[in-house]
Chains A and B, each alone.
Chain A
Amino acid sequence: MTMGVLLLIAAALTLAAVYGGRRIRLSPRALESFRQIPFQVGRSLETGQPLQFALGSGGLLGGEAAFTLSAARSLERALGDVRTGEVPPWVAVADPVALLYARHLFQEAARLPAMSSPPLDRIEWAGASPMAYIAGLTLSLGLRPVAANILGGSFREEAILAGEAGQREGAVSLFAMPDPSGAAAMWPLDPSLAVGEEALTAAPREDAPGRWLAHDLLRWLLIALLIAAALGAMGRG
């Protein structure tokens, strides 16, 4: 019952924020991990080296669906650039459903003039378990040069192996880690990485400000609820 009421409040706030946000001039949060993607697409074209995307060890059916979907948003953003067709990115997935989704994104991108046919062989199933996935990704990074190593989605401490392999090969590191342990491991490699909720704000294209306003409104709502709950507990105790 409580969850239902909270969901209704959240839905109403999101709608209010999104529709109200269209009239508010507000710059979206400029997170380095996402802001850099168009620049890295250009750099990839200049160097002739593809981008390497990793969508994390989660899939689209379990509790990590939002993480994987958010990581796929960065891929979608890169594929939306018409120049990407000339040097298609590599994508490493750990979950079969995420592989199907990545294929779908490539097929969508193939509608652009620059990409004649979707290069589906660029999507790799690197490994099924988190550690096997990182091992496969690290091996791939060592075998072929890439312009940027873009890691998003569900990663834990083991991500440092892939992050370090990318840096050793001279690739630019862009990380978005919702999981605190993954973020802690990757921080020394890229202190400007997107952490926690930030990692879920990836947008497939230049976005309307209302979406970030919705995030912020909900965040304030939760803070207010937490303070109210704490005060209530103090009053009772």
Chain B
Amino acid sequence: MIRRVVFTGVLSLAILLALVPYLWPQPALRQALTELGSTLLAYATLVAFLAFLDAHLRRIRLQGEGWPYSLVIVLSALAVLILAAGEGWIRGSGLAGPWMMWIYQYGVLPLEASLGALLPFFMVLALWRRLRARPSVEALLFAAGVLSVLILRSGGTSLPLLWGPLSHAVVEPLITGGVRGILLGVALGVVVMMLRIALGLDRPMGR
């Protein structure tokens, strides 16, 4: 009982402290909270990185399914770590230095962009399967929405010119209204969830 009260009290206090800078601007408190968060994040990153290495090294050792992927992942992770540490040691610039920026610019970002380029195909495929499996009014409306976006984004044709005015007049107001409604609901949900935790009605730290 005492343990529960103490945990709930500490959690409520933390939430209230985090809210104070929004209600009553206090740069020093905001700075202190940011530093506390950064310290926690640094510790958590270390734990996560060790757990990540451990999981992949175990898969390589046991030659589990997909172990070559794990080998590539471990080698890449260690190479980036050594490079970042080396850059920090030699140039004193750490993660924001030119070597790391080069890796981001010519390695990470193009890979992510190429994966992102696959998304429209997967979306259309999923929609096609939905329409084939169980056609419904909602699915047809969704298909119309996807088609509208594809037409508007297509380059080199006059289709966007023809479709654009109709989309601006009819489709966009509906979409904007719907998205705003969802976002308002999300804001409400977040407020209620945090209130439940602050008031001790929910206990995310367990019983």
Residues of A within 8 A of B (CB): 1, 3-4, 7, 10-11, 14-15, 18, 59, 61, 66, 69-70, 72, 93, 95-97, 99-101, 104-105, 108, 120-121, 123-125, 129, 131-132, 134-135, 139, 143-144, 157-158, 160-161, 163-164, 178-180, 183, 185, 187-189, 191, 195-201, 211, 214-215, 218-219, 222, 226
Closest CB in chain B relative to A182 CB, distance in Å: 11
Closest CB in chain A relative to B126 CB, distance in Å: 4
Q: Determine if B126 and A196 form an interchain contact, defined as CB atoms under 8 angstroms apart.
A: no
A-B contacts, 17 of them at CB < 8 A, read: A3-B22, A7-B191, A10-B191, A10-B192, A97-B41, A101-B204, A105-B206, A108-B207, A125-B51, A158-B116, A178-B189, A179-B186, A180-B182, A191-B138, A197-B182, A201-B189, A211-B201
Please measure, in the bound complex, the distance between the C-alpha atom of A132 and the C-alpha atom of B51, giving whole angstroms. 17
Closest CB in chain B relative to A24 CB, distance in Å: 16
Q: Determine if A99 and B196 form an interchain contact, defined as CB atoms under 8 angstroms apart.
A: no
> Does B4 touch A at the CB level, under 8 Å?
no
Contacts of B198 in A (CB 8 A): 11
Please measure, in the bound complex, the distance between the C-alpha atom of A215 and the C-alpha atom of B188, giving whole angstroms. 7
Closest CB in chain A relative to B150 CB, distance in Å: 14
Residues of B within 8 A of A (CB): 19, 22-23, 37, 40-41, 44-45, 47-49, 51-52, 54-55, 58, 65-66, 69, 108, 112, 115-116, 118-119, 122-123, 125-127, 129-130, 136, 138-139, 142, 178-179, 181-186, 188-196, 198-199, 201-202, 204-207
Q: Determine if A196 and B186 form an interchain contact, defined as CB atoms under 8 angstroms apart.
A: yes
* Main SS class of interface, B: helix
Q: A59-B41, A93-B48 are in contact. List 7 more A-B contacts (CB 8 A).
A: A61-B37, A124-B55, A129-B108, A157-B119, A160-B126, A188-B126, A211-B192
Please measure, in the bound complex, the distance between the C-alpha atom of A222 and the C-alpha atom of B188, giving whole angstroms. 8
